[in-house]
Amino acid sequence: MVGMDGDYEYLLKLCRAGKLYEAEVLLAEGVDPNPPPNLRKSALAVAIEKGFHSLVVLLLRSGARPGQRDMWEVARSGNVELLGLLIDHGGLLLEPRDVAAACERGGGPAIDLLASRGVDLVKGAPLFEALCTGNKSVIGAWKRHLDRDPRLAAQGAMALAVFCREGSARGVALMLWAGADPRMPIPSEGKIEEEDPDRRTTALVEAAAGGKVAILKALRIDPLTDDLPDLMCAADLHDRRDAVEFLLDLCTAIQRAEALWRMLQSAIWSLEWKSDPRSGWWGQYPASFEVEKIERLARMGARLSLDREPALLLRVRAALRRAEPDLALRVIRALASGPVPDTEELRWLVRTKAIVDKMRYQNLSRGDMELLGMKLPKEATPAAHRRVTRRCHSSRH
């Protein structure tokens, strides 16, 4: 053992072997428990890695300084007692991910410890992931500290939103018991740094998107204060038909009309986008899914007010131009069945050259042809109509 480096390497060897007495003697002789600049591994890190608690205590009392790597390892281990020792001897959890790891692995006792040591439990939402585990001790600790620091409410609302989206009745019940607010605006997808108000959500909206009626009932929806049309749009976007029916039953006549109008508008926008080859759409729900939705909404009594939003006219026409001819014809027929009750308005909507040309080779009824301005001869009969249709098909080939 020659020189400082040799002494420290011997200390590392003792720590790896768990030689407590020999290490204590070496430290009493004045060997620095902190590594020299040319050594990256510290004796404290070795003792933590090997799980020698008494050695860790000895090194800390001898002046070992916990580094960030040490704090990360202990946070991930879930050893609350050891974490407290490191913090009491100058260790710092500087990164929210370190605090989050300590909370998730150490549970409620770790949260209580960190709060008592003044660690920031708000920045970076370090409690969020731990709450999402559904650990009762974590949720209980969050409930206790929420009374002292209301800023923690957002993390509880975010966890509640996750449980609502996943359909976890147990998680929802626990978070509601703890005081999570299902109507509190929160960042979308748990992104705590998201500040755009247009990209924020609530646990109530996530419950509608999840589609579990039992969870919607547990959240006690109030038709007088909650935005039912918004909730219905969230449910409809993910094809949660049971949730849509449940919410429809709670709606007033005005809310029902508004919700159906929003859902029909959304379906038309989606159809336009999915029918555009430039979008490269290849997802789960094809364009035909949106056409089926438009047909279903038409049967439910949806109305399309072009005066209310003139830009929607361009959307409808673009969707009809880009969609496959058979899908476009189904949309036109669905719109004619109720959403656009004014026949003249509908004719004005669909009588464009691009749309009419697209329809020429479809199996059109007399009503379809009249709507599109493709008049049959005056003497036409149903048989003649069939002959005209056959000629259209033959000319195509």
DSSP string, 307-343: TT-THHHHHHHHHHHHS-HHHHHHHHHHHHTTTS--H
Q: What are phi and psi of 187, to 5 degrees?
A: -65, 145
How confident is the model at residue 344, as a pLDDT? Answer: 84
Q: 197 near 186, Cβ under 8 Å? A: no
Name residues of the chain where pLDDT drops below 70. 1-5, 189-198, 279-284, 308, 375-397
Does this model's pTM top 0.85? My answer is: no
How confident is the model at residue 2, as a pLDDT? Answer: 41
Q: What is the pLDDT of residues 76-118, one digit of tens each?
A: 888 899 999 999 999 888 888 999 999 999 999 999 999 999 9
User: What tokens appear for 50 in the block?
Assistant: 């090997």
Q: Where are the domains of the chain?
A: 1-65, 121-232, 252-273+285-397
Domain over 1-65 is classified CATH 1.20.1090.10:
no
- Please tell me what DSSP assigns to residue 52: -
How confident is the model at residue 338, as a pLDDT? Answer: 86
Please name the residue that has the structure tokens 């008049």: 375
Q: How many residues does the chain have?
A: 397
- Give the integer Cα–Cα distance in Å for 183 and 338: 35
Give the 3-state secondary structure of residue 187: strand
Q: 290 near 274, Cβ under 8 Å? A: yes
How confident is the model at residue 380, as a pLDDT? Answer: 47
- Give the integer Cα–Cα distance in Å for 21 and 102: 31
Q: Closest by alpha carbon to 71, among 97, 53, 52, 50?
A: 97
Q: How far apart are the first and last CA of the chain?
A: 96
User: Which helix (H) or strand (E) is 9 found in, with range?
Assistant: helix 3-17
Q: 304 near 264, Cβ under 8 Å? A: yes
